[in-house]
Amino acid sequence: QTGKFTYDPGFTSTASCESKLTYIDGDAGVLLHRGYPIDQLAEQSNFMEVAYLLLNGELPDRKSLDSFNNTITRHTMVHEQLATFYRGFRRDAHPMAILCGVVGALSAFYHDSTDITDPHQRMIASHRLIAKMPTIAAMAYKYSIGQPFLYPKNDLSYTANFLRMTFGVPAEEYVVDPVVEAAMDRIFILHADHEQNASTSTVRLAGSSGANPFACIAAGIACLWGPAHGGANEAALNMLREIGTPDRISEYIARAKDKDDPFRLMGFGHRVYKNYDPRAKVMQKTANEVLDKLGVDDPIFDVARELEQIALSDPYFVDKKLYPNVDFYSGVILSAIGFPTTMFTVLFALARTVGWVAQWNEMIADPAQKIGRPRQLYTGPTERDYVPVDQR
Ligand code: SDX
């Protein structure tokens, strides 16, 4: 007898939480970090200052900012044994696979900052994760192209250090282009945190069980990888390259509207924004600036802008309130800077580590927090008796 349990209509499993970090108004297209609008932070602040803001709740004064920068800088080097860890991967391993594996292993190297009941250890783990992610990400890239790892340099900014470890080689000094550094830093700010998105919720759920912070961030990286989430930036640029020229856009618009076709416009739509993602506006402006300053004339950017114009005047997208999101233009900039598409989600994870760590700290510090336990609406068979195999 199979039937369905009726369920108590009063039972709801809203997996929501309280947070002071980030506010989103999806209908108005508003994003605030601790009350500051994302466009002001992107245009006037820098990634380390935003990291401090998300972690501590207030913008730092000069002394606090210098001290925070100094602390993060002094955690950028990784345990030498970790370099050996990379050699277990195939050279063609996706950098996100490497990132998942290496970050998940960090608790084996930094077990003196895994006791989540100790606020001092929580702070050390937080600083280590924020500081070491650029080094780990750069090493993943270097390993994939068969080049030697570079050590971080303490006289460089957070973002300049990352660029040098990624694109520099031992044979010659790498000079960081200020245009590239500013664009990269702004992209990090735009990806820093975004309320209770899928990967942040994953980090919180993992953290609610008392798992160590390195394991929690590795869980967030795994979730972010999906093409519906952080993997969309890689998928969006691959889509734009597949379209290739403006005359082919209508073919892809038609596919995106076809209920029987699983194709979705990558970099379009959002679970919360039913208006233009404010980060996408800053990203498009930054793409314009970077391509102009670097003298890059990438036809893909023209395809992206043309596609956006066509989609935003199409009733299907207008009625469903589908707008470009943070992932639509980011790939154009990252490609102009020199990153392969396989590194795009790694860069998203690098930046989102700040938000994940800040959200994890906020949750762990709450004495009332309990283990997450989403419930379900059961729709399976009602109770029935076992039947021996020869009687089935
Ligand atoms: C990120 O949550 C966050 O905050 C995430 C993020 C962050 O910073 O952490 O902002 C980062 O993940 C941004 C999203 C990146 N993903 C993509 O760009 C992939 C392409 N986008 C779609 O897969 C989609 O828009 C989602 C997954 C983002 C949202 O999917 P939903 O929840 O189904 O969107 P919806 O409910 O608003 O969809 C409404 C309708 C649906 O059709 P109907 O069922 O009503 O017939 O629009 C359709 C959807 O099928 N639709 C699309 C579409 N996105 C939604 N149709 C074509 N192309 C699209 N991109």
Helix extents (H) in 244-326: 249-257, 278-294, 299-312, 315-319
pLDDT at 152 over 50: yes
Structural contact between residues 110 and 79, judged by C-beta atoms closer than 8 angstroms? yes
The tens digit of pLDDT for each residue in 278-307 reads 999 999 999 999 999 999 999 999 999 999
In the structure encoding, which two tokens stand for residue 280, read together? 């996408």
Q: Determine the average pLDDT of the residues in 381-391.
A: 98
Structural contact between residues 349 and 104, judged by C-beta atoms closer than 8 angstroms? no
Structural contact between residues 52 and 68, judged by C-beta atoms closer than 8 angstroms? yes
What pLDDT is attached to residue 15?
A: 53
pLDDT at 13 over 60: no
Contacts of 90 (CB under 8 A, 6+ apart): none
Q: How is 74-86 classified by DSSP, letter by letter?
A: TT-S--HHHHHHH
pLDDT at 16 over 80: no
Q: Whose CA is nearest to atom 46 of ligand 1?
A: 259
In the chain, % of residues over pLDDT 90: 96
The tens digit of pLDDT for each residue in 195-251 reads 999 999 999 999 999 999 999 999 999 999 999 999 999 999 999 999 999 999 999
Q: Whose CA is nearest to atom 25 of ligand 1?
A: 269
What pLDDT is attached to residue 357?
A: 98
Placement of tokens 């860890």 in the chain = 85
pLDDT at 324 over 90: yes
**SS3 at position 238:** helix
Give the Cα separation of 371 and 364 in Å (integer).
10
Span from the CA of 142 to the centroid of ligand 1 (angstroms): 33
Q: Determine the average pLDDT of the residues in 43-53.
A: 98
Residues comprising the chain, all counted:
392
pLDDT at 76 over 70: yes
What pLDDT is attached to residue 48?
A: 98
Contacts of 49 (CB under 8 A, 6+ apart): 59, 60, 65
Structural contact between residues 116 and 212, judged by C-beta atoms closer than 8 angstroms? yes
The tens digit of pLDDT for each residue in 109-128 reads 999 999 999 999 999 999 99
What pLDDT is attached to residue 17?
A: 87
Q: Determine the average pLDDT of the residues in 72-94.
A: 96
Residue 120 annotated among the catalytic residues of the structure: no
Helix extents (H) in 225-277: 232-243, 249-257
**Mutation pick for ligand 1 pocket among 31, 54, 271, 279 (CB with most ligand atoms within 8 Å):** 271
Q: Determine the average pLDDT of the residues in 125-136.
A: 98
Give the pocket of ligand 1 (CB within 6 Å): 194, 197, 228-230, 232, 256, 264-272, 320, 322, 325-327
In the structure encoding, which two tokens stand for residue 347, read together? 């860069």
Other Cβ atoms within 10 Å of 119 Cβ, number: 12
**SS3 at position 306:** helix
**C-alpha to C-alpha distances, 28 to 17, 37, 66, 379, nearest whole angstrom:** 22, 13, 35, 37
